[in-house]
Amino acid sequence: MKKFLLVLMSLMMLALAVGCGGGEKKTAEQPKVLKVGTEPTFAPFEFQEKDSKDFVGFDMDLIRAVGKQLNMKVEVQNMGFDALIPALNAGNIDVAVAGMSITPDRQKAVDMSDPYYVSGLTIVVNKDNNAVKGLKDLEGKGIAVQIGTTGAEKAGSVKGAKVKTFNTNAEVFLELKNKGVDAVIIDKPVAEYYLVKGGKDTAKLVGETMEAESYGMSLKKGSPLTAQINKALSDLKKNGEYDKIYEKWFGSKAPAEKK
Ligand code: GLN
């Protein structure tokens, strides 16, 4: 009887081992998860749909297309813009996709993909403000910006400016509307989208686009995914998928200089 039990037990263990082995194989075949971090108050690049709270926008479509190329399942997490790079370094997310401009400082802290969109900064003021025509006119004035952005950096370079930083761009635009500041410094395509979506009733763009900036996806230094994402981006630009996504969000064909 004892012997029988022993045999039975070893058989069961064997079955368990085989079962586990099979299980492992199965997970290897399932798409791996690509953990994406974003700050979703940056329409039309990333924002949340009103009712479903789904993450939508140009960046979201692009990273989902990249995920498809890499056979990875994209999962998006909402976090503060200034929390994205720390989250990459802590390994909490694999990639930050947040209209993040490629800058030398960021390239020191993280890996950045090849550029996928050419952008630039602009100034937004209230419609009734005729005193501000450019950056120089903002000296000593109040400027609202999002924390950790290139817009915040630009505002900080204006002599005597009183810079107010906010966690979200929703708060930034609200502060302008409430006349808590004289101006906002933000990415031009985001300012334009804001105006089209109703902001034009109270606000307007002024001045020339300040220096060009290109958006890149950020990854932890040395991540093996950087090269894979670059390859996927280049494939999507070649196979027309990038153009489709561009047209969906910007309503026109992607000019070569925007890619
Ligand atoms: N492009 C700007 C930056 O990289 C702003 C990005 C954002 O607010 N999401 O700082």
Q: In angstroms, rounded to a whole number, what is the distance separating the alpha carbons of residues 128 and 94?
A: 44
pLDDT for the residue 76: 98
The residues near 219 (Cβ < 8 Å, ≥ 6 apart) are: 88, 94, 95, 96, 110, 111, 112, 113, 225, 226, 229
Q: How far is the CA of 241 from the centre of ligand 1 (A)?
A: 24
Q: Which two tokens stand for residue 3?
A: 């012997």
Q: Which of 48, 91, 51, 54 is nearest to 74 (CA)?
A: 54
pLDDT for the residue 210: 85
Q: How far is the CA of 2 from the centre of ligand 1 (A)?
A: 70
Q: How far is the CA of 206 from the centre of ligand 1 (A)?
A: 19
42 in ligand 1 pocket by Cβ < 6 Å?
A: yes
Residue 170 DSSP symbol: H
47 in ligand 1 pocket by Cβ < 6 Å?
A: no
Global pTM reads: 0.87
Q: How far is the CA of 132 from the centre of ligand 1 (A)?
A: 23
Beta bridge partners of 185: 123
Residue 21 DSSP symbol: H
Q: pLDDT digit of tens for each residue in the chain (259 aa)?
A: 556 555 555 555 555 555 444 444 445 567 799 999 999 999 999 999 999 999 999 999 999 999 999 999 999 999 999 999 999 999 999 999 999 999 999 999 999 999 999 999 999 999 999 999 999 999 999 999 999 999 999 999 999 999 999 999 999 999 999 999 999 999 999 999 999 999 999 999 998 888 789 999 999 999 999 999 999 999 999 999 999 999 999 998 888 877 8
Q: In angstroms, rounded to a whole number, what is the distance separating the alpha carbons of residues 35 and 94?
A: 5
Residue type, 113: S
Q: How far is the CA of 192 from the centre of ligand 1 (A)?
A: 15
The residues near 78 (Cβ < 8 Å, ≥ 6 apart) are: 38, 39, 40, 48, 55
Q: In angstroms, rounded to a whole number, what is the distance separating the alpha carbons of residues 69 and 231?
A: 9
113 in ligand 1 pocket by Cβ < 6 Å?
A: no
pLDDT for the residue 22: 45
112 in ligand 1 pocket by Cβ < 6 Å?
A: no
The residues near 35 (Cβ < 8 Å, ≥ 6 apart) are: 75, 77, 92, 93, 94, 95
* The ligand 1 atom nearest the CA atom of 98: 9
Q: How far is the CA of 233 from the centre of ligand 1 (A)?
A: 20
Q: Which two tokens stand for residue 5?
A: 């039990």
CB of 82 closer than 8 Å to CB of 148: yes
Q: In angstroms, rounded to a whole number, what is the distance separating the alpha carbons of residues 4 and 59?
A: 62
122 in ligand 1 pocket by Cβ < 6 Å?
A: no
Helix axis angle for 225-238 and 241-250, nearest 10°, is 80
CB of 208 closer than 8 Å to CB of 225: no
Q: How far is the CA of 256 from the centre of ligand 1 (A)?
A: 22
* The ligand 1 atom nearest the CA atom of 103: 4
* The ligand 1 atom nearest the CA atom of 106: 4
146 in ligand 1 pocket by Cβ < 6 Å?
A: yes
